[in-house]
Structure 1
């Protein structure tokens, strides 16, 4: 079974998967906007993914695209902020850096039979008469690598992390995420401490 994330217009609930818009935090909790370890400027908020009872909020440096190791799970040019959502509010954007994308849209999960993400994505799009770009990613399952397996190890326990999602660049080339042009991103987590990592290939 493959779980596809299909593009859906409009805003999602604050505690659900969405792309673009603003990150969220629990009311009363501190939030420190992630900064790139290379250029020291704030990263851009890409998306939040609902993974079980957690929200995985993905950030990637876009202040000088391609120059800050934003593709590397351990390079300091991207990060995943994991929270358990309770009572949420939007985080105020910062005045410096490329922090927000020019889009906001939600997504719905559709489960389809199959073991291969690429085939499931193409077949679902053809069956429903829409562009494959409307399939935004898959949740769980097995990653469909472009350049070979780069599963990161957890920084704490040093074991391979669990795959949680594979992300396409987006439904519209004018507002898509920058994964090197036609690239794909992969998100992982570790249950030992609740940490998460993110990388992309093209």
Structure 2
């Protein structure tokens, strides 16, 4: 079993095309900044290049806790799957909380768990992502205490999420595919506000639409 962890890798340019949290979104020409049902702009959280495009994740932070950004069916979050070609920085709204306070680079780290060895490890009950995340502060020894460096993971399966919470695509009604976990981050200055919860990003690759929810 392989888990691709996303690890905090210091500051990044705001318009980088590499994996990052914060900065400005890169989108095709004609893209309009998404608005929440409250009327304010959604805050851009993450730019995540994947095999068939780029996932862009937005959540409402205009009045934290007032808009249900944790609900996959809410207008307080939005996920887009853009093609990689001809992406450009999007003009940032002048009002509202549209950007994170800092742009953070992400590097990926693949953790391989041997199922035969895991059979005798009670931690396997936690799920592949949870085991990989916990292992980040144990091996090697110098990583101890650095679990907050983990910003989530790409691909795999959603951790501790019941089947009845898997979102359906609003266009084709099919069950969306899990794409990524998101963690709040390493420090208040760079963190994504997820209400202290683990975030889940889903996508319908056929319709190129996504959704977001928290645990």
TM, length-normalised to structure 1: 0.90
Query: Structure 1 residue 151: deviation in Å?
Result: 1.1
Matched, 1:4 2:5: yes
Deviates more, 1:184-193 or 1:108-117: 108-117
Which structure 1 segments of 5+ residues have no match?
A: none
Give the helix-richer structure, 1 or 2.
Answer: 2
Q: Is the 8 A contact 1:15 1:85 kept in 2?
A: no
Query: Structure 1 residue 71: deviation in Å?
Result: 0.8
Q: Which residue of 2 aligns with 1:116?
A: 128
Of residues 187, 201, 204, the one that matches 1:187 is 201
Query: Structure 1 residue 76: deviation in Å?
Result: 0.7
Provide the alpha-carbon RMSD of the alignment: 1.7
- 1:134-176: CA deviation from partner (whole Å, max 9, x where unpaired): 111111111112x644210111222211001001111113431
Query: Structure 1 residue 88: deviation in Å?
Result: 3.3
- Structure 1: how far apart are the matches of 2:16 and 2:188? 25
Which structure 2 segments of 5+ residues have no match?
A: 114-126
Matched, 1:48 2:63: no
Query: Structure 1 residue 70: deviation in Å?
Result: 1.0
The structure with more radius of gyration: 2
Q: Which residue of 2 aligns with 1:107?
A: 106
- Structure 1: how far apart are the matches of 2:55 and 2:205? 13
- Structure 1: how far apart are the matches of 2:155 and 2:81? 17
Of residues 191, 196, 199, the one that matches 2:210 is 196
TM, length-normalised to structure 2: 0.85
- Structure 1: how far apart are the matches of 2:85 and 2:34? 21
- Structure 1: how far apart are the matches of 2:134 and 2:71? 28
Misfit runs of 4+, over 6 Å: none
- Structure 2: how far apart are the matches of 1:71 and 1:52? 26
- Structure 1: how far apart are the matches of 2:58 and 2:40? 12
SS in 2 for 1:120: helix
Aligned residues: 196
Q: Which residue of 2 aligns with 1:36?
A: 36
Query: Structure 1 residue 10: deviation in Å?
Result: 3.0
